[in-house]
C-alpha cells in the first residue's frame, strides 16, 4: 500500500495584498539550496525529500509570458507516493506563516495552466480569506475560492479563474493560496503547471464566449438541490473547504438532483466536466 506524504496540505497558508501583484506570481524568481530550487516567496516540500532527490515542484521554462513557471508533479518512488504541493508563505513546525497582509476583498484569482491529470486524479487551487479574532485568539474564515481540475490535459497555456465567495461583511486580514496535485491518490508523473497568478475585481478572459453555465437550485439549501447546466454534463465532483470529496458521480445529461445528508453547514465547491471536455466550477451553500 502506498504511503502518502500530504503533511497537512489543505491547511497551508499564504497572504497577499490586492494593492500589489501576487509576489512572484509569475514564478520568475527562484532560489537554489543544495540540489533543489524553490520559487521565491513560496513553500514546497522539496527540502523534505531532497536527500532522496525527489522534487515535486520544479522550475519550467519558458513561462506563459515570461521565462519561468512552477511545475507541480506527483512522484512515485518504490512504495512511496509523493503528491506535489505549492503554497505561498512558509511552514514552521507544521504551522503556516503568512506572507503578506490584505485589507480588501478581491473577486477573482486569475492564472494560466498546463496539465496532465489522469482519470480519478485532480489538481486543486484553494484560496481562503481569514481574519484574526482577538477575543478567541483564532483565525476565522471570511471567504473562499476553490477550483478543481479533474481528468484534464492541456499542452498549451490556458486561462483559469477562481471566483471568491465571502461569508460576511468583515474585511479579511490574510489569505492562503494552496495548489496541490492529488486530493485522491495521484498517479506518478501527473503534473500541473501554473503561471501568471494575479488578483482582479474584473474579468478579461479571451475564451469565455462559449463557456457553459451551471445553476444550483435552491442555493443556499439544506443539502437537497438540483444542478442544471447549459451543456451536457459527464462528471460531477463536490468537495468541502478542505478539498475532501463529499460527492462524486458520472452522469449523462443536463440536470441532476443531489441529496447530501449529514454535512456541516458552510460552503462547498462543485466541479463539472462536460461531454465536450469543458470545465464548470461553482459554489454551494448548505445551511
DSSP for 55-98, written as a single string: -SEEEESS-SSSS-EEEEE-EEETTEEE--EEEESEEETTEEEP
Percent pLDDT > 90 in the chain is 20
**pLDDT of 4 over the 60 cut:** no
**According to the model, what pLDDT value does residue 16 have?**
34
Structure letter (DSSP) for residue 43? E
Percent of the chain with pLDDT over 70: 78
Query: What is the DSSP-derived secondary structure letter of residue 223?
Result: S
Residue 192 pLDDT: 92
Burial class (CB in 10 A: 0-12, 13-18, 19+), 119: exposed
Residue 174, pLDDT score = 85
Nearest to 231 by CA among 256, 207, 248, 249: 256
| pTM confidence score | 0.68
Would you say residue 191 has pLDDT above 70?
yes
Question: Above 70 in pLDDT, residue 117?
Answer: yes
Q: Which residue has the higher pLDDT, 37 or 283?
A: 37
pLDDT higher than 80, residue 51: yes
Q: pLDDT, tens digit, for every residue of 151-190?
A: 677 888 988 888 887 877 788 888 889 898 864 555 666 8
Pick the closest to residue 200 from 235, 233, 226, 162 (CA basis): 162
Q: Are 130 and 225 in contact (CB under 8 A)?
A: no
Predicted pLDDT at 1: 38
Q: CA 91: distance to chain centroid?
A: 18
| Mean pLDDT confidence for 87-96 | 68
**Is it the case that residue 61 has pLDDT exceeding 90?**
yes
Q: How confident is the model at residue 269 (pLDDT cuts 50, 70, 90)?
A: confident
Q: What is the CB-side half-sphere exposure of residue 234 using CA atoms within 13 A?
A: 9
Q: Residue 49's CB: how many other CB atoms inside 10 A?
A: 18
pLDDT at residue 78 greater than cutoff 90: no
For the ranges 46-55, 122-131, 169-178, 183-192, the lowest mean pLDDT is seen at: 183-192
d(C-alpha 255, C-alpha 63), whole Å:
39
Give the tens place of pLDDT for each residue, 213-268: 777 888 788 999 999 888 888 888 888 877 788 888 888 888 999 998 888 888 88
Among 35-44, 122-131, 156-165, the range with the most confident prediction by mean pLDDT is: 35-44
Amino acid at each position: 500500500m502506498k504511503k502518502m506524504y500530504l503533511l497537512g496540505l489543505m491547511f497551508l497558508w499564504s497572504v497577499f495584498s490586492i494593492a500589489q501583484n501576487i509576489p512572484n506570481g509569475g514564478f520568475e524568481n527562484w532560489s537554489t539550496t543544495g540540489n533543489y530550487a524553490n520559487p521565491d516567496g513560496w513553500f514546497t516540500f522539496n527540502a523534505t525529500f531532497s536527500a532522496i532527490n525527489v522534487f515535486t515542484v520544479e522550475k519550467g521554462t519558458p513561462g506563459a509570458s515570461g521565462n519561468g513557471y512552477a511545475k507541480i508533479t506527483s512522484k512515485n518512488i518504490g512504495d512511496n507516493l509523493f503528491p506535489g504541493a505549492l503554497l505561498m508563505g512558509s511552514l514552521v513546525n507544521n504551522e503556516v506563516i503568512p506572507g503578506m497582509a490584505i485589507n480588501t476583498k478581491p473577486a477573482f484569482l486569475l492564472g494560466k495552466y498546463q496539465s496532465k491529470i489522469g482519470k480519478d486524479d485532480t489538481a486543486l487551487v484553494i484560496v481562503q480569506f481569514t481574519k484574526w479574532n482577538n477575543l478567541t485568539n483564532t483565525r476565522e474564515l471570511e471567504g473562499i475560492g476553490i477550483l478543481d481540475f479533474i481528468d484534464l490535459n492541456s499542452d498549451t497555456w490556458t486561462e483559469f479563474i477562481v471566483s471568491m465567495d465571502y461569508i460576511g461583511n468583515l474585511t479579511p486580514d490574510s489569505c492562503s493560496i494552496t495548489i496541490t496535485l492529488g486530493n485522491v491518490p495521484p498517479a506518478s508523473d501527473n503534473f500541473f503547471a501554473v503561471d501568471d497568478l494575479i488578483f482582479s475585481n474584473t474579468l478579461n478572459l479571451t475564451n469565455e464566449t462559449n463557456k457553459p453555465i451551471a445553476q444550483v437550485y435552491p442555493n443556499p439549501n439544506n443539502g437537497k438541490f438540483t444542478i442544471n447546466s447549459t451543456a451536457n454534463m459527464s462528471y460531477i465532483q463536490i468537495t468541502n473547504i478542505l478539498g475532501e470529496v463529499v460527492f462524486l458521480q458520472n452522469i449523462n445529461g443536463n440536470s441532476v438532483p443531489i441529496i447530501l445528508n449529514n454535512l456541516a453547514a458552510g460552503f462547498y465547491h462543485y466541479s463539472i466536466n462536460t461531454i465536450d471536455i469543458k470545465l464548470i466550477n461553482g459554489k454551494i451553500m448548505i445551511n
